[in-house]
Chains A and B, each alone.
Chain A
Amino acid sequence: MTQFSLVIGIYLSALGVGAWLSKFVTSNIARIFIEVELVVALLGGTAAPVLFLAFARVGAFSLLLYSLVFAIGVFVGLEIPLLMRLLENRLSFKDIVARVLAFDYIGSLAASILFPIILVPRLGLIRTSLLFGLLNAVVGLWSTWLLNPLIKRGLTGLRIRAIVLIVLLCVGFWKANALTSLSEEGLYADDVVYATSTPYQRIVVTKGKSGFQLFLNGNLQFASADEYRYHEALVHPAMLVHANPRRVLVLGGGDGLAMREILRRPDVEAVTLVDLDPGMTELSTRFPPLADLNAHSFADPRVTVVNRDAMTWIQEVTDRFDVVIVDFPDPNSFALGKLYTTRFYGLLRARLAPGAMVAVQCTSPLFARTSYWCIIRTLEAAGFVVRPYQTAVPSFGVWGFALASLGPFEVPPAVPPGLRFLNDDALHAMFRFSEDMGPVEVEINRLDNQALVRYYEQEWKRWD
């Protein structure tokens, strides 16, 4: 967010600088106007691709971003006063100029609406940026005819430059995929529609035929096509076992999708969501495709968001919860592995109200069988009664969960109607395990051995 306001601030001040600079343009106004238009086309069109490619070198990234924004601002700031001067010098051209001006304003208004809502989701960031460059270049070219009488010499040169620029941007538009894969190391099968790096992780949203995907550090978190299977499976069993879940805690799950399922239940009075990364929860709140998908959960008055490391947060709070949904990313680093230890589960126990239910996402019992059972056994070692369960989520494969409580419990016989995936049959099928996913001997995951991170790395290495 600070980056966003800084960008706006820099842009506005650059506009001022541009306007001030226009004072120094005394002759050849029409020509310079077109030149400026072409520069804006070039800078604006290539901004996103350049930023994308530059991303790997994080150190200089913000400097580059701010310089680009500043440069674009200066040139845009130059344009308008130049137009005004054309207008005042040549009243006879009033019409023409007014048309250009109108086009410019309508253009930027349209851009601000089209950009986030229609274009970015459809075209991807890079293509959107190139498209705007193209529009500017076309306006530049068009102006060479409109302003023809005002330009003394070198009209052909201008036109050639405009055409070259248009061709270049078209090529860029056509080859955008290659560019994206260059920059994101070909990680994503679909177009990247949003990408950002927070101090904690790289967040990427892609868009394909079947919908959206969210990636954190290159790992798929959900696909909009089938995430309902995952989130219904994660949330509802725990919420059904508990007779009256009023206070719910979500750990991780900054995408807000688990929360969407929780908030369906009218008996829920308060939801606390703890996610490390404010960048993630902000995105889920404001980025329209995501906010739509999570049914604007973050706007629900029952919700409180805490951007902290769950490990330190849980040692400081005194609240108790009826249901806890643990939706951390897979344990692929020591920093995440600590959130799956007996220590963490011990701290979690202390936050449970009597009869509380806990559901934990546990990676895949098929692809990472040892890791899965390590999480189950670690929960048991921390004193939980655990019912392992699993279901198929096509984007992920077979996915595993744990339903846990401090005392014995029964899986409820019936699922209320209204869900897309869960019904009575689906619920009961989840608690059955095929031969190739059954229990294996494992070590308990502790802070001082991080057994899980080591299992996980071993197991997923085989599939990459």
Chain B
Amino acid sequence: MGLSPWTRRDLLATFLAAPVAAASCRSGAEPPPLPPGELIGPSVEVGHRLRDGFRPEPPADGWVDMPVVIVGGGVAGLSAAWRLERGGLDRFALLELEPDLGGTSRAGHSDVVAYPWGAHYIPAPLKEDRALVALLDEMGVLEGRDAHGGPVVAEQFLCRDPEERVFHRGRWYEGLYLTAGASGDDLAQFETFRAATREWVAWRDGRGRRAFGLPIASGSDDAEVTALDRLSMADWLGARGLTSERLRWYVEYACRDDYGGRLEQRSAWAGLFYFCSRVGGFDDEAQPLVTWPEGNGRLVAHLAGVAGERVRSGLAVTDVRVVGTTIEVVAYDVAADAAVGFRCDRAILATPSFLTERLVAPLRDGVGPRRDGVPYGAWMVANLHLRDRPRLRPGNFPMCWDNVLVESPSLGYVVATHQTEQDRGPTVLTYYYPLTDENARDGQQRLLSAGRDEWAEVALADLSVAHPDLRELTTRVDIMRWGHAMARPEPGTVWPPDRQRAAEPVGRVHFAHTDLSRVALFEEALYHGVRAAEEVLAASGRRVESLAL
């Protein structure tokens, strides 16, 4: 087994901290051979060439006329395609670099079950999120409306109970907040925190908008709210005397889970947004979660079905330029090793900001606000294929959808078969590991310094603490290394002065990507895709009722 250049102990110490390394290496003997598996994309090589300014020119006969071209087949690009189609504009092409659609919401599948490679859930929408409500209605996920007009998600699409458990010092407990062993002060602080978030939930600005809306554009941009962006979440907790270790772990877990970072590194606006945006108006409860075995891959599959034949995958867009009233989109066909060109009226760039600003000529030339201030976090995702469920020791809470290890730098795992209602037999566990390094570059380097075998070993060693029989049960471990997984909402980055302008079109080039919201969420990608498509629909003279706002 080739764990070079790492020794096993160094590897585990680097990624899981010294105690795990000591415990898993104590037995002396080499661990059993790793199960097979592979390193899945994304296409790092093409990505790097794009970043370094690779711009091939198509031959004269390599050009196609197309009214609208969408660049990027992640959620934002697919949402734009969906909105164009539903708005009556059906002549467009969607160009995607990877062979598979979905970007950071893509999914894989085995003979047993489908599973996520990235995004795995959405909270059930409030009625204000019109785009998401329309999408879920179309998919048959909603079964009606409640007395207040709020969408009602059909039971089988809500995360099945029990939803989550935590592993702490050798034992699984129900829930995410560890009540077992909590002191009176811990519980009091937890209540203080909940009361503070409730206040923000009830808060309305002069125009009656919520402090934290989903999509964010439906919420408030009042200075009182955006001021929170100048603090870190740690500052915010500190200012309220919230020092309980359990509470801080709980809040930090949310920051790591949604934003891949620690309390000190994440904007208090983003932290509170997580806790407040998904709480409904009429009751005090957080919205239930909506999920599928393949996570948000189900939403991607539906959108991809709508886009249909208009998708061209394996095409890396290398240049987007303005020639008079025409937009020229040049793409590199990876398989054919040839450039192709599209002449269009309008283009929608649904690529991450750091690429967009290199791809679009006017942006390269300094038109519009700069976007390179956005730092990106790195994530590793492992899918572990199991022959059977790990044994449950007596006194432990049974397997849930989300299974979190308190003493681990990972986020634990979600279980793909949870939503298929199968409680026995083979399954796939999706293990999430955010690299929370202070400096984004360090995280990316650390991510790429370890290959398939090393990351598989990290995942197995980490989870074996909770499941001693895991190695025997695991038949395959595939690894995804997301170098630019998501924009990191660091203090001061969510509400920069030019936030609004970054999303505005530059001439006939429109922008859509979750990065424009500075937090990575399905709702935001959907919102920007729908908004950009509606800009294009309006410019083409079509009258459509906006789903965006």
Contacts and interface: CB of A to CB of B under 8 A. Distances in A.
Nearest to A339: B421
B421 A338 contact: yes
Given A334-B161, A447-B155, A447-B158, A312 B424 contact: no
Contacts of B159: 448
Interface in B421-435: 421-424
A309 B421 CA distance: 9
Contacts of B422: 309, 312
A343 interface: yes
B9 interface: no
Interface residues of A, number: 18
A338 B158 CA distance: 13
A21 interface: no
Given A334-B161, A334-B162, A334-B398, A448 B424 contact: no
Interface in B280-329: 288
Interface string B422-466: 111000000000000000000000000000000000000000000
Interface in A39-86: none
A334 B155 contact: no
Given A334-B162, A448-B161, A448-B288, A311 B155 contact: no
A342 B161 contact: no
A346 B156 CA distance: 11
Contacts of A447: 155-156, 158, 160-161, 421
A341 B398 CA distance: 19
Contacts of A335: 423-424
B424 A334 contact: no
Contacts of B243: none
Interface in A405-457: 446-450
Contact of A448 (B160, B398, B420): B160
A342 B158 CA distance: 13
A125 B95 CA distance: 70
Interface string B158-175: 111111000000000000
B420 A343 contact: no
Interface in A322-378: 333-335, 338, 341-343, 346
A199 interface: yes
B155 A343 contact: yes
Interface in B394-422: 398, 420-422
A84 B480 CA distance: 68
Nearest to B420: A312
A450 B155 contact: no
A200 interface: yes
A341 B161 CA distance: 11
B161 A200 contact: no
B398 A449 contact: no
Given A333-B398, A341-B155, A342-B155, A449 B161 contact: yes
Nearest to A342: B155
Interface string B375-399: 0000000000000000000000010
Nearest to B419: A447
B422 to A, nearest CB: 7
Contacts of B398: 333-334
Interface string B162-191: 110000000000000000000000000000
A452 to B, nearest CB: 10
B160 A338 contact: yes
B163 to A, nearest CB: 8
A448 B421 contact: no
A191 B161 CA distance: 39
Nearest to A58: B391
A311 B421 contact: yes
A309 B417 CA distance: 13
A80 to B, nearest CB: 41
A312 B420 CA distance: 8
A447 B155 CA distance: 6
A345 to B, nearest CB: 11
Interface string B498-519: 0000000000000000000000
Contacts of B424: 199-200, 309, 335
Contacts of A346: 155
Contacts of B420: 312
B161 to A, nearest CB: 4
B390 to A, nearest CB: 13
A333 to B, nearest CB: 7
Contacts of B163: 448
A106 to B, nearest CB: 45
Contacts of B160: 338, 447-448, 450
A446 B161 CA distance: 8
A173 to B, nearest CB: 32
Contacts of A338: 160, 421, 423
Among A200, A346, A446, A447, the one with the most B-chain Cβ atoms within 10 Å of its Cβ is A447
Among A309, A311, A338, A448, the one with the most B-chain Cβ atoms within 10 Å of its Cβ is A448
Contacts of A333: 398
Contact of B423 (A334, A446, A449): A334
A95 to B, nearest CB: 58
A338 B288 CA distance: 18
A323 B98 CA distance: 53
Given A333-B398, A334-B398, A448 B158 contact: yes
Interface in B107-162: 155-156, 158-162
A342 B162 CA distance: 16
Contact of B155 (A199, A309, A312, A448): A448
A311 B423 CA distance: 10
Nearest to A315: B421
B161 A450 contact: yes
B507 to A, nearest CB: 47
Nearest to B398: A334
A333 B420 CA distance: 17
Nearest to A450: B161
A335 B423 CA distance: 6
A448 B164 CA distance: 12
A450 B162 contact: yes
A344 B160 CA distance: 13
B420 to A, nearest CB: 7
Instruction: List 3 tightest A-B contacts by C-beta distance, closest first.
Output: A335-B423, A448-B158, A450-B161
21 contacts: A199-B424, A309-B422, A309-B423, A309-B424, A311-B421, A312-B420, A312-B421, A312-B422, A333-B398, A334-B161, A338-B421, A338-B423, A341-B155, A342-B155, A447-B156, A447-B160, A448-B159, A448-B160, A448-B163, A448-B288, A450-B160
Interface of A: 199-200, 309, 311-312, 333-335, 338, 341-343, 346, 446-450
Given A334-B162, A447-B160, 6 more contacts: A309-B421, A334-B423, A343-B156, A346-B155, A448-B161, A448-B288
Interface of B: 155-156, 158-163, 288, 398, 420-424
